[in-house]
Each structure stands twice: as C-alpha cells, then as structure tokens.
Structure 1
Amino acid sequence: MAAKFMQMALTPAVQAAQDRYFGRHFVMADAPERDALTEEELSFIATRDSFYMATNNADGWPYIQHRGGPAGFLKVLGPNLLGFADFKGNRQLLSTGNVEGDDRVALFLMDYPGRERLKILGHARVLDAREHPELADQLSPTPELRHRIERLFLVHAVSYDWNCPQYITPRYTEAEIEQRIAPLKARLAELEAQVAARAG
C-alpha cells in the first residue's frame, strides 16, 4: 500500500475497527503530497478495457458506475493524470453531477485472468467535449467513436493500492477465451483431417 493511500484510508474509525478485530491498528507514516504512479501502474492502466468509478452525491451517498471500452480507453495523459471520454448514454449524468459537488473519486481496475486489482484515489473534473475538441480527439478510443463523445473526465491521481489476488475469481473476455482455446481448435482440426484422410 502506497504511503499516501495509507494516510488517506486509515481514518480514526478504521483504526478503531482494526483495534477491535485485530487488537492493533496500522500506524500512518509520513506521506508525500501524492504517490507517483510507477511504470507498473501505468502499464496496467493502459491495458484495461473496463473499470469502476465511485463518486459521492450531495447527500453523502456513494455511487459506483462501470466504464468500459476498447483496451486503453482510460488514457495516461501525464505522470499522475488520467483521462477518458464520456459517451452519450442514459442521460442520468449521476457521476458528472456528483463530481461537480465533490471531486473525490475512486477508480477500481480489475484484471480477472491475472487476478490483480488496482485502486486509485484522486480528484476528477468534467469538461464539455465541445469546448475541448483537441482533448476529445486525444481521448477518443477509436476514430469511429469520436462523434459520440459528450464529456471528458480528467482524474488527478493522488494515491493507489494493489490488492492481493486471494478472492479474485478469474473471468475471461471472448477474445481471451479465443486465445486460450486456439491451440485446442488447431489440434482438433488436425485430428479431424487425419480421420478424414484415413476414411478416404
């Protein structure tokens, strides 16, 4: 766990819960203003095709939204700056409205086959894509999707944490399944050809 994440997450209430259940709590060390994302985090982010984003509404209720797109649609724009395009959807704009009132967000990125997860805490802002066409071009996952972009989310990452894989159930996309069964399909085709040759 990065130092800043520890400092932000270990509130007195969390430490009291640790005392109650474990008889001791983690002690917060001095932390930098932000934990710099390393090459490991940046590489992981660049290969995700989905993530979850948590925001808080004006009444303090948390809201979690799934974001998906082509691998790499969550783009690294700077050392601790991430961005993604927000497309035309159901018109609820819950995350957009929440960020206007409270810019704190949490991103939860999963790699189910690799049984890895990365949590990122940061501050977000939402821009109108019509007012920032060059940034919209940069954040568009594909040229075909450019016309559907309405808003742009920028997330200034403050800290991050990697979780252990203990309870992550492996899940696979269609492309990942195809890649894994390709050798089996090739072998099956080879055996079928052998059978056909003998029968002929």
Structure 2
Amino acid sequence: MPDAYAKIAFTPRVREEQARFGSADRYAGRLSPEGEGGTGFGPLEAAFLSARDSVFIASVSETGWPYVQHRGGAPGFVRIIDRQTIGFADYRGNRQYISVGNLRHDDRLSILAIDFARRKRLKLWGHARITEDPQIVALLNGVEGPVAERGIIVRVAAVDWNCPQHIPLRLTAPERDGEISRLREDIACLQRELDAKTALQPGAGG
C-alpha cells in the first residue's frame, strides 16, 4: 500500500479502529513522515485506467454529505495526461449537476475503477478541475460517442490497488460474446479431434 494513500486515509479515528480490530501493526510503517510513494501512475495503473469504460466518483457536498456517481464512456474515455494527471469527458446525464456542484465547492474527489471480469480494482484520490474549454473538451471527448458537456481534469494525490476480495465476476456484452466465441471454438476443436480419432478406429469406414 503506497504511503500517500495511507497518509490521506488513515486518520486518527481510522487508526483507532485498526487498533481495535488488530490490524494496526500491519499498517503502522505507512505513516512515517519521510515515507513517500503512490502519488503517480506506473505502466500497470495507466494501462488499467485506459481500458476502463466506466468509473465511480465520490464528491462531498457543502453540507458534508458524500455523493457517489457513475461516469462512463467508450473504453479509454479516461485519458492519462501524465504520470500524476488524468482527464475524462463528462457527458450529459439527468442534469442534476450534483457532482459538478460539489466539485465547484470542494475539488477533492475519489475514484474507484473496477475490472469485474478480472476482479481488479484501483482507487484514486485527487483534486479535480472542471473545464468547459472547447478544445480541451474535444480532446477528452474523442471522435466517438456523444458530445461531452465538460471535461474533468484530476491531479492525483494518491493511488492504491484495492483488495480483490468479494468482487463479483461480471462481463460486459463484448467480453461475454468473446468468451462464448472462444468456448465454441474449443468445442469445435475437440469435435474435430474426436472425429479424427474415430476415423482411425478399425471398422470406422463401415
């Protein structure tokens, strides 16, 4: 677990709970003042985010309530700008603008990206900047899909691979279709092998 994530997440109350349930020693070394790491992307994190077609983002309202919302697009809609910055096109939804309003008030947000097919998930915490600059929005939007209303640029403060326990196995329609095609090809291959073995048996020709 990277130090940057622990410095943000492990508040005094969180550490009290870790002590109460016996996990404090496991994470104690992650809170040293000189500890660093986990503020940027490596190749694995960049590839994982670039392949996602949806993420969940959490923001905080002016009244202190957390708000979680889904954001999606074509695979690759999350763009890696540099090793500590990502951006994504923000498409029109039900026009409540809760996440946008929250981020105008408090730029902190958390992102959860999940690959259900491979049971992997990545957590990010960062500071968001909302842009309506047409050129930036066009770059984030790409050439496919609906036209975005705005872009969201996130300067990442911490990143961490989350425990894969309890992630359900789910496939997107393309992943499901690909798995079905693979299984059909496996069955066809086995059938060809069976037919070839049958043809070699004595009396197989009738």
State the TM bucket, normalised to the shorter chain.
Answer: 0.7 to 0.9
Q: Distance in 2 between the 1:179 and 1:23 partners?
A: 41
Query: Judging changes above 3 Å, is the alpha-carbon distance between structure 1 residues 135 and 150 closer, same or farther for their aligned structure 2 residues?
Result: same
Instruction: Tell me what 2:152 maps to.
Output: 153
User: How far is 1:186 from its partner?
Assistant: 4.4
Q: Return the TM-score normalized by structure 1.
A: 0.86
Deviation at 1:34? Answer: 6.5
Note if contact 1:125-1:154 (Cα within 8 Å) is conserved in structure 2.
yes
Aligned residue type for 1:73: F
1:137 corresponds to 2:141: no
8 Å CA contact retained: 1:69, 1:141: no
The alignment partner of 1:64 has SS state of strand
Contact 2:74 2:145 in 1 (8 A): no
Name which of 117, 120, 132 aligns with 1:116. 120
Instruction: Give the superposed CA RMSD.
Output: 2.1
Consecutive unaligned residues of structure 2, counting only runs of 5 or more, are 196-206
Does the 8 A contact of 1:48 with 1:71 survive in 2?
yes
Deviation string for 1:152-191 (max 9, x for gaps)?
1011011111112221111100100111110333467797
SS of the aligned residue for 1:149 comes to coil
Aligned match for 1:95, one of 83, 96, 99: 99
Are residues 134 and 185 of structure 1, via their aligned partners in 2, closer, same or farther at CA, if it must alter by over 3 Å? Answer: same
In 1, Cα distance between equivalents of 2:5 and 2:187: 50
Provide the C-alpha distance between the structure 2 equivalents of 1:126 and 1:33, rounded to a whole number of angstroms. 26
Residues 100 and 114 of structure 1: CA distance in aligned 2, closer, same or farther (over 3 Å): same
CA deviation vs aligned residue, 1:123-166 (integer Å, no higher than 9, x gap): 001112xxx22211210143453xx2211101101111111222
Residue 182 of structure 2 corresponds to 183
Confirm whether residue 3 of structure 1 aligns to residue 7 of structure 2: no
8 Å CA contact retained: 1:46, 1:74 = yes
**2: CA distance between counterparts of 1:67 and 1:133?**
20
Whole-angstrom distance in 1 between the partners of 2:44 and 2:122: 11
2:21 counterpart residue number = 21
Identity, % of aligned pairs?
Answer: 35
Q: Which has the larger radius of gyration?
A: 2
Are the counterparts in 2 of residues 72 and 141 from structure 1 also a CA contact under 8 Å? Answer: no
